[in-house]
Amino acid sequence: MSATPAPADDLIVIGKIVSVHGVRGEVKVYSFTDPIDNLLDYRHWTLRREGETRQVEQVRGRLQGKVLVAKLDGLDDREEARAFAGFEICVPRGELPQLAEGEYYWYQLEGLKVIDQAGQLLGRIDHLLETGSNDVMVVKPCTGSLDDRERLLPYTEQCVLSIDLAAGEMRVDWDADF
């Protein structure tokens, strides 16, 4: 395992090591990819936790229920593996697959200004949540926003009218009073 980090501003979080699995140094991983086992397509991971960064290589992995179990190169002991819990798993942005027109990664949406049909600034997208039926955008107030309310908006075709990454804006069909 190496201690040379990739450029921090180029990294995208695709999962998190949550605990150990078994006695041979395997780790349980919660994946943020869809489908979840896509995380296993990336062999070289940058692990990040509280300012600490490590480079590791995933040797093999498998889907087990709603989590993944991964074996990292050089990690063969349960107690050593326990020290990896809490690390975010990151890969360089350039390694992500190209998306079709009109599709976006969550990281591309975070920070966008959210503007309703009346031209009112509702806030900025802070992050997104995965729910059973659809993803939800957490819109927090920002400088110039209509009020100080946090809003939860569905990330659906009915709500999202347009996305302009270059302008940093998303237009939505959403009642500001809701």
Q: Map out the domains of the chain with their CATH numbers.
A: 8-95 (2.40.30.60), 106-172 (2.30.30.240)
Banded pLDDT at 69 (limits 50, 70, 90): very high
Please name the residue that has the structure tokens 């995208």. 12
- Render pLDDT for 101-140 as a digit per residue (tens, 0 to 9): 999 999 999 999 999 999 999 999 999 998 888 999 999 9
Distance spanning both ends of the chain, measured CA to CA: 50
146, 148, 150 from 160: Cα distances, Å: 18, 21, 17
Banded pLDDT at 7 (limits 50, 70, 90): low
Q: What is the 3-state secondary structure (H, E, C) of 115-161?
A: ECCCCCEEEEEEEEECCCCCCEEEEECCCCCCCCCCEEEECCCCCEE
Note the pTM of the prediction, 2 decimals.
0.79
Q: Give me the mean pLDDT over the 88-101 stretch.
A: 94
**Helix, coil or strand: residue 95:** helix
